[in-house]
A and B are shown apart, each in its own frame.
Chain A
């Protein structure tokens, strides 16, 4: 079974530039997550999609970050304009939807995009 695909793997940009990341989840996984992981910290959720709808974007800095999942499959995350503190690994993850009893499945992560803002 193919895993979660992400591109690019690495990106270096200058502050105030724009950048976009792409994610293709595991086939059939309705739930897609974008996380930001700063060095030495655990992943922090930026946005969660269920199919093509946003379920949670409470921690997304909406003044500069945006994300979409138009057809309920792959997704893009954009930063415009980037700041130095955006340097991090951006992880995409997917999971099947929760069961009718409310049990959540584990998430499967892609390899991440390592962003360096100079």
Chain B
């Protein structure tokens, strides 16, 4: 089983829509969680860290469910500029690796 699994999509949504991505992780000892955004032919950039209590940054909300071992990202009022691939990243509390999902592709349509 993969360490981190994401639905690759693609998700095609109209402007202004709300879209949610889920990501599951296999190791219950995972400690740190992040969402990264990667534009086409660019490097990944941190979108937000995910905290146990959930956190919000403008139109973006991240949630962590440790019992079910999944992380979610909610984007409200989608903009054309939100079109990108969203990578879920998980770090265990032992070992050193950050584990990346394959990414979920989002296209926001005018």
Contacts and interface: CB of A to CB of B under 8 A. Distances in A.
Contacts of B44: 43, 91, 109
Given A102-B93, A106-B34, A45 B43 contact: no
B31 A104 contact: yes
Given A43-B44, A91-B43, A112-B43, A107 B98 contact: yes
Range for the number of chain A residues in contact with chain B: 20 to 34
Interface residues of B, number: 23
A44 B102 contact: no
A interface SS class:
loop
Contacts of A43: 44, 87, 100
B95 interface: yes
Name which of B32, B93, B95, B101 has the most chain A CB atoms within 10 A of its CB.
Answer: B32
Contacts of A33: 98
Name which of B8, B41, B97, B103 has the most chain A CB atoms within 10 A of its CB.
Answer: B97
Contacts of A104: 31-32, 91, 98
Interface of B: 4, 8, 31-32, 34, 41-46, 49, 87, 91, 93, 95-98, 100-103
Interface of A: 33, 40-45, 48, 55-56, 91, 102-104, 106-112, 114
